[in-house]
Amino acid sequence: MIDYKKIGFKCGLEIHNRLDTKTKLFCNCKPRFSEKQPILIIKRKLRPVAGELGQVDVAAMYEYLRDRTFFYNCYNEETCLICIDEEPPRVINKEVLEIALQITKMLKADIPNEIHIMRKIVIDGSNVCSFQRTAVVGLNGVLGTSLGKVGITNICLEEESAGIVKQDGDEITYRLDRLGIPLIEIGTAPDIKNPEHAKEVAEKLGMIVRSTGKSQRGIGVTRQDVNVSIKGGKRVEIKGVQELDMLPQLIDNEIKRQQEIIKKAERENSFLPIQNMATTRIAKEDGTTKYTRPLPGGERLYPETDLAPIIIDKKLLSKIRIPETWEQKAKRFSKFLPKEMVNQIIKSEYLEMFEKLHKKYDPLLVASTLTSTTVYLRRSGIDVDVSEEQFDELFSCVKKKEVSKEAIPEILEIMSKEKILVKDAIEETGLKVLSENQLREIVRKILRKHKDLVEKERFSPLMGLVMKEVRGRIAGNMVAKVLKEEMKK
């Protein structure tokens, strides 16, 4: 075990979470991925603008950008002239602003009297304009954790960058459907005590964003950047951690990496290895990191002159309601769910679905279906791809006794594999619930076949034989009842 205090472990997090809103942050495009082919591919160049990068050598930046050509895939409903830098931005999306202020309130942070939208210089082509619009909406907040308070240095509202499609030498292709999706960024102070604590903090911040009910779900919607340093080393930023479970391992790996560099420096009696330590790294899938081009911080920001500052007055603030926190939610759920399941459902991607469905159906069944059943199916390699409406339909069939709850895993499996509706899946699997008469028919058939067992009154083997035939189509206690009755005849 590493004594994190002793090695001078310092760690802060920055989490980014895409928001699920009606439109993008500064235009009225749909904030979603397009499944269609691009309607247009445009070609652009970028160049450094003298002075904007502060101490960074403009000449070097020019060389870097000179030969690069960026291609952008444009989509019908997800890209407009604003997205391709052919029209100035519209005023900020009010819905997003309100969500950001909700989060700011939940983290007890100060909200500036006036929010100024800034341009953050980005030269990798992932923003068509060469900058990302961003604004700080909260300062000096606090998050309660199992190891004490963790300071929140800032809460920012930003536009998501474009997603990279391919890089072919100096030609880089991006897709613009993702560009401009609202993103909330929360940065913590270096108050994190150990790698597991980092995971807890990230989880809790994620919950806060999710409690607004406006967090996007799915792969890549949440990303963490981690700052790690130990005594004698340097502060290193690891960007783009997507898997929360990977966080502790990644931090431990970074500590080891830094410790080795420090040892090397001691061995060689030189500061050089530490001086040369790259300060920005990208998280790889295997829990290690790789070097990426560093950029200075504050110097990257300058005012967005196309947009007026947003005045935050009392009237606007009074309209912002704090949503139910996850603690409050857990308390409410524990009234009808066992503790273990409460935790599972709260962390689950199906939380919003559960909120809607548990009022109509047996909460325990809904919760276990949405957690253990889906997890079980995923582990056996099935990508559960079922919409809220379809889950609703499935539970409704169970409620109406058209299908037994035991059949749920198999129905979900078929639905996901064959991309069909609940009704068709039930039909296809033959998992439609049996009527008592149908069951009686089957039981009689089996009893006729196994007269010897009937004579010896061997209930269990007979029950086994019947269940083999009818599993998932009728409840077990009904089978037992009918079997007993028929055996007496």
Residues within the interface to other proteins (CB under 8 A): 42-52, 54-55, 58-59, 62, 65, 81, 84-88, 110, 112-116, 118-121, 123, 128-131, 134-136, 139, 153-154, 156, 297-305, 308-309, 311
Cα–Cα distance, 392 to 350 (Å, whole number)? 13
CB atoms within 10 A of CB 359: 9
Nearest to 157 by CA among 201, 115, 219, 216: 115
Cα 271-272-277 angle, rounded to 5 deg: 110
CB of 432 to other proteins, least distance (A): 57
**Judged by CB, which is closer to other proteins: 7, or 58?**
58
**Judged by CB, which is closer to other proteins: 295, or 384?**
295
CB of 187 to other proteins, least distance (A): 9
DSSP H/E element including 42: strand 40-44
Please, what is the angle between helix 195-211 and helix 339-347, to 10°? 80
Which residues are within 8 A (CB) of 199 and not within 5 positions of it... i.e. 6 or more apart? 244, 245, 247, 248
CB of 271 to other proteins, least distance (A): 26
**Judged by CB, which is closer to other proteins: 127, or 253?**
127
**Judged by CB, which is closer to other proteins: 40, or 272?**
40
What order of strands is seen across the sheet that includes strand 118-121?
A: 289-291, 280-283, 236-241, 222-229, 10-18, 182-188, 148-159, 131-145, 118-121, 301-303
Based on DSSP, count helices (H) and strands (E) in the chain, helices before strands: 18, 16
**Judged by CB, which is closer to other proteins: 63, or 327?**
63
CB of 39 to other proteins, least distance (A): 13
Nearest to 185 by CA among 147, 148, 141: 141
CB of 401 to other proteins, least distance (A): 59
**Judged by CB, which is closer to other proteins: 308, or 364?**
308
CB of 132 to other proteins, least distance (A): 12
**Judged by CB, which is closer to other proteins: 113, or 437?**
113
DSSP annotation of 371 reads I
Residue type, 64: Y
CB of 70 to other proteins, least distance (A): 9
Tokens read off for 404: 């037994």
**Judged by CB, which is closer to other proteins: 140, or 249?**
140
Q: What is the DSSP string of 265-286?
A: HHHHT-SHHHHT--SEEEE-TT
Q: How far apart are the first and last CA of the chain?
A: 68
CB of 130 to other proteins, least distance (A): 3
Strands (E), 293-425: 301-303, 310-311
Tokens read off for 372: 């253990």
**Judged by CB, which is closer to other proteins: 138, or 287?**
138
- Write a three-state SS string for 186-228: EEECCCCCCHHHHHHHHHHHHHHHHHCCCECCCCCCEEEEEEE
CB atoms within 10 A of CB 419: 10
CB of 62 to other proteins, least distance (A): 7
**Judged by CB, which is closer to other proteins: 272, or 311?**
311
CB of 42 to other proteins, least distance (A): 5
